[in-house]
Structure 1
């Protein structure tokens, strides 16, 4: 499945983000996030939110140590 991506779909995504997404395949996603049903922009938003969550948890853990 080839997805045509347009960098205008998301203002927060870098060129590297788009390059990584373009190289992804359906097998890269296990289905629990239903990536196959998401638009490319929705996939990037989900990935961004996941990365922000991880960063916020790491930051809070550093403050407690």
Structure 2
């Protein structure tokens, strides 16, 4: 796991501790994790894979 990554969540998430996904810029890609359980690890995707995931979610 990348302990030095800066994890960010959307400003649309609000201030409550709800169901949020956080993103981090990692070497060679993007990390995604559940903000409620950051210690559980993260999913690493290339920028192209993340773009395709977002396209699939949006369609």
What is the TM-score with the length of structure 2 in the denominator?
Answer: 0.34
What is the TM-score with the length of structure 1 in the denominator?
Answer: 0.32
- Greater RCO (CA < 8 Å, at least 6 residues apart): 1
**1 or 2, which has the higher strand percentage?**
2
